[in-house]
Amino acid sequence: MKKIDFLDWSLDAWFLALCLMLCLTCMAFSCSLNAQEKDTVILRDSAVTEGDSVDTFNATVQNVVNETRRIVKRRAQAASRFLNERYIIVIDPGHGGTKYIDKGNSAKLDGIEYHEKDMMFEYAQLVEKKLAAAGYEGLRKTKEAADDSSLSIYTRAGRAAKFGKDAGKKVLFVSLHWNNFEDPSVGGTEIYIKESQNYKSRKLAEFLRGSMSHILQMHGAGQNITGIVERDYRVLREMDTGVLIEIGYASNPGDLRKMLSQKDEIATAIVNGIDAFAEYMQEQEAQKQMPNDDPKKAAEDAKLAEIPSIPFGWSWRKKDISADVDHLMKRYDGMYEKVTTEKEIYLTFDCGWENGYTPKILDVLKANEVKAAFFITGGYLKSAEDVVARMVQEGHIVGNHSVNHLSMPQLKVREMKREILGLEQDFYDLFEMKMNYFRPPSGEWSRRSLAVTQALGYKTVFWSFAYDDWDVQAQHGRDYAYKKITQNVRPGVIILLHAVSKDNFEALDAVIKDLRKDGYVFKSLDEIK
């Protein structure tokens, strides 16, 4: 008798062989199978007896495998038909053209430079091909060439909506991007969805998370610990169902290597997630169960609302920061200074309105090759969009200072979120970039406001030195600003300056040059771990 080589069997064969053995055992005890049950594999004449050959046994297992695969295929085809009748799938290769940024980020690996727009277009083509092979019809992309720099994020969102309108269907929108960060250890996948009427988007994101997480770990924190983040970016909020997938961090060598070497696996995982969503939608439609919003969100907000919101003001001096406050900063991802003995300085500016000096400050920073963080308000973004664009283009951090510069401790949880996310939404719609740092207006904070900020995935940035520079009617001159800054620096200091100050602009070049002579290095907030 031919010897059975079990090692040659696939996992499918192993699993189904066990099922077959179980069926045979049940038959031996006179258990009958219901032959009328739909999609059930019936084993009658193919039952294996003790005298059957191994070849017959293997053939039986293969028959079971083939029949099971046919069942799975029929289910997938039914799900794709269901989605085809109701949705048009639009794939959006991120970047490639905005008013300010053309290529998105670039990254190097093994001496070769890669651009986000190029890689995401390759992914879009691959996902489109695999979706078509899976039976999805009417697939569209928001652009047909990686170098189509005429298509801004506004144009792409409008084009996706028009695809749906022309087809008389809802839009299932999948926008593809990569992430970037100065710390190369940060990595993982993030999936963004809109904030309201988002139940279907969240379910799609959950299925994508499940299918993609075996390739790249999920990146998340706070309320977004699962890697699924709510943001009302235009490309999401105007779609019935949509996700923005940050596949991985190009700044993380491991992530970038996977994005380059495992394109087929990652694209397949995206398609599998859409397949699972289609099956879920089909089942929910049959049961007439389709809530509009994720019920977990209200519970999360209620939990945040239970945290006390006693207001505090941030001191101008480090010596006024108590041990209790320091503990809260660590607990809620707040920062005011880096603990170090190295001569490092972190330069930040608050921008509530433009007084004509921010472009000049940018000139000084560029000439001295210094990167800073600029915390802007919603009003500043609207009135000085070109200045913000320059901050982005020259590699500075653009931080969130809220939409309306309201006192955060006085707001309800949802109001806090609107103040933070409203600005991030407008910023993303212009630049296709997220915000990671939040500075509370007027330095006013509470334990609850810290918790809300953390839940949204932000780090709260205070300062360990500032001075009375914000009053444009009470400027004291270049020398006053120079002495104030240079006499109060120390290792790890986060300096807060206001960009409306003429004194700050006039003193800045000398401050940078002289502090460098004294051994200080100017660093980015991204370098604080």
* CA distances (Å), origin 332, targets 75, 354, 454, 490: 46, 31, 6, 24
Q: In whole angstroms, how far apart are CA 186 and each of 117, 248, 367, 469?
A: 21, 10, 30, 36
User: Which single residue is written with the structure tokens 């099956």?
Assistant: 279
Helix segments in 314-462, DSSP class H? 323-331, 358-368, 378-383, 385-393, 413-431, 447-455
Query: How far apart are alpha carbons 307 and 409 in whole angstroms?
Result: 11
Q: Considering only CA atoms, which of 132, 141, 129, 134 is closest in space to residue 171? A: 141
Burial category of 161 from C-beta neighbours within 10 Å (exposed 0-12, middle 13-18, buried 19 and up): middle
Q: How far is CA 13 from the centre of its chain?
A: 39
**H or E element in which residue 335 lies:** strand 334-335
- The CA dihedral of 67, 77, 192, 249, to the nearest 10 degrees, is 60
Largest Cα–Cα separation, the chain: 102
* Residue pair 117/143 in contact by the 8 Å Cβ criterion: no
Residue that is written with structure tokens 């800045």 in the block: 508
Residue 381: CB partners within 8 Å, gap ≥ 6? 388, 423, 426, 427, 430
Chain mean position to CA 197: 19
Q: What is the phi-psi region of residue 192: left when phi exceeds 0, alpha when psi lies from -120 to 50, beta otherwise?
A: beta
The answer to whether residues 197 and 230 touch, using CB atoms and an 8 Å cutoff, is: no
d(CA 253, CA 477): 47
- How far, CA to CA in Å, does 273 sit from each of 80, 86, 142? 12, 18, 20
Beta strand residue intervals within 197-253, DSSP E: 228-230, 241-249
Provide the annotated active-site residues.
350, 498
